[in-house]
Structure formats: C-alpha cells, structure tokens
A = this chain, B = another copy of it.
Amino acid sequence: METVHSGNKKITILDVAEALNVSKTTVSRAISGKGRISEDTRQKVLAYIEANDYKPNVIAKGLAQKKTYNIALVIPGDCNLVDMPFFQNSMQGICEEASANDYDVMLVTTTGSSSANLERMIVNNKVDGVILSRALVKDQNILLLKAQSIPFVLMGTSQDAKILQVDNDHRAGCSELVRHMLSRGSTRIGLIGGSRNVVVNQTRRQGYEDAFRNAGIRLENTLIFEDCDRTDKIRTAVERLVRENVQGIVCMDDVVCSIVLQILAEREILVPQQIQVASFYDSTLLKNSRPAVTSLLFDDKALGALTCRVLLRYIQGEKVEAKTLLGYKLVIRESTLVC
C-alpha cells in the first residue's frame, strides 16, 4: 500500500478496490458508512483513500442516487444597491452551510417577469432544491416551483402557508422601532415605503401599523407614502411630510433614508431636533452619515445559513418548521435622540 501521487490522473473507486483486493461495493460501503462492513476493512479502505487522495466523483454518485448535491439560489437580476448587502451576506451564509453539507450552490438570476433561467436549471435536473431570495406579491418563480413540485424554501415571507419560509422578523422589528419613536411623546411619524410589489415592504408596513395600534394612536394614511422607488417620489413625500408637521420619518431602507437626510439638509431642517429619522434596514451606507441613523440590524448571513439548512433537511426528508423568524436588533442612534 504505497502512496502514489501520479500526476493528475484522477483515481476511481475501481482503482482503490483493485489496489486493496476488495470489491467496489466494499469501498463504497466504507465511504458511505451504509451496509455491513467489518471495522477492519473499513479502516483499511479509509486509510488508503486518505493516503492516495481519492475523491469520489460526486456527479457519478449523484447519477446513481438520482441526486445532484446541488441547490439553486435565485437572485433578482434587477435589485438596487441597497439590497446588495443582503444578497451578499445571505449568499455567503448559504454557501458555507451548503459546503458544510457537501452541497454546492448554483446561481440563477431572474428578471422579474421571466423565470426562464430557473426553469432551464430545473428541467435539466441540475438541482435537488431551490432557495428563493426575495418574494414578489405575484411571484413567477414560486408558481413555477410549485408546478414542478421541486423542494424549495423562501428566504422571505409569503402569505401562502404551504411555502417553507425563513425570514428576518421585519414586522416585529419595524413595530419596535416605531414604538421607540412614538414612546417619546411623538404621535405623528411618517412612513416612506418601497415598492408594494415586494413582499418585505408590505411586512415592514404592517410593523409600522402594529406600533400605532398597540400604542392606541390613530394611524393617519396621509403620512404613509409607498412605492417611493425614485428620488423625485421621495422628495415629494418628504415635502408633504414636512408640511404635515410630522415629528419623525421612518424610511423603508437605507437608500431612501440617505436621500431623505439629504433633502432635509437642503431645507435646513435639523435632525433629530426638528424631525427624527430612522431606517428599517441597516447597511454600511449610513455608517458615515451625520447624524448617525437609528435603524434595525439583522443577521443576514445567519438567515442564509438557516434557510439553507432548512432546505437541505427538507430534501433529506426530515421534518422542518413551516416558517421560522429570526430576531433583530434595534440600534438607537443620534437621529432619534430628542432631548
């Protein structure tokens, strides 16, 4: 049993079987741990494999088992800067978790309307399951995945209880943030929201509403601006809110927030003295802003890892939670500190 590093010729299961004078079956069993095998031969095989650097061909293994050991990660091709840290961080969590379970991650980008790339991946049998990284209100990808009846989990929230979901608890988080602002005598807190077609924006809005309800303060619809996905719309919203004499503005995300801060600065409105400002999502974008902005902090990497774990468990036939919510951290900074 000598160690041979014979260039880059890949060694196969047959090679190790012959070298050890056992059958392929035995080698396979030693590796997989399935089936009866004596501890002796098992160690012998493992030692040889270790010494000769044998790596089973996962593709062949998959073919025999009708598995691929791949999962697909679907990310929207059209997301904006503010969403990127989320995708980036969750992506890393997913990759690491997958790796740890000997799975690999296939990347699929979809463009809002078309799920063509995802469909191709599925009909080509290249994946055992799928992670969706964002839900739209009417989601093509979800429709497709259900039709194909392929295991998938949504890293986000859906009204459809039959869909496996893992998400940050945006609703509770946003509610607590707004409660924080309402608790200091303020009753008029405006909301500048994002696209209503994106589920998470709806969820955040619900959190906003919860806070008012819990505090027994009447919700004024004139203080809520949705679909603010462009600077001009945000500008209009800010101007209206200023005219409405709001005591605070909550922004759907950091990009919205940085624009809001800028508009307020132009109009020489002091934050937080005249108007408090907070963001529902904390990225590095606001790290250098003055004043520092109160916002919610989520652990996106952990979210990705957990989502991946749920999918893999589901694929392996284990029982999984239908819906899991992860915690948040309310980070109070200067922008909501009224003296």
Give A contacts to B, CB under 8 Å.
8, 10, 55, 57-60, 62-63, 68, 70, 73, 77, 79-81, 84-85, 87-88, 91-92, 95-96, 99, 104-109, 116-117, 120-121, 123-126, 148-149, 231, 258-259, 262, 283-285, 287-288, 290
Contact = CB atoms under 8 A, between A and B. Distances in A.
A81 B85 contact: yes
Contacts of A105: 106-107
Given A8-B149, A231-B288, A55 B124 contact: yes
A91 B104 contact: no
B258 A288 contact: yes
Nearest to A283: B81
A258 B254 CA distance: 15
B99 A88 contact: no
Contacts of A107: 73, 91, 95, 104-107
A95 B117 contact: yes
17 contacts: A8-B149, A55-B123, A55-B125, A58-B124, A70-B126, A73-B107, A80-B284, A81-B84, A84-B84, A91-B109, A95-B108, A95-B117, A104-B126, A105-B106, A106-B107, A262-B288, A285-B285
Contacts of A288: 231, 258-259, 262
Contacts of A287: 231
Contacts of A125: 10, 55, 57-59
A70 B126 CA distance: 10
Nearest to A148: B8
A148 B9 CA distance: 11
Contact of A284 (B55, B81, B92, B284): B81
Contacts of A258: 288
A117 B88 contact: no
Contact of A88 (B55, B59, B79, B124): B79
Contacts of A290: 262
Sorted from nearest, which 6 A-B pairs have the closest CB atoms?
Answer: A84-B84, A55-B123, A105-B107, A58-B124, A107-B107, A95-B109
A130 to B, nearest CB: 13
Interface centre among A60, A124, A259 (most CB of B within 10 A): A124
A16 to B, nearest CB: 15
A96 B95 CA distance: 21
A80 B84 CA distance: 10
Contacts of A109: 91-92, 95-96
Contacts of A92: 77, 109
A335 to B, nearest CB: 16
A121 B84 CA distance: 25
A82 B109 CA distance: 20
A285 B59 contact: no
A10 B106 CA distance: 21
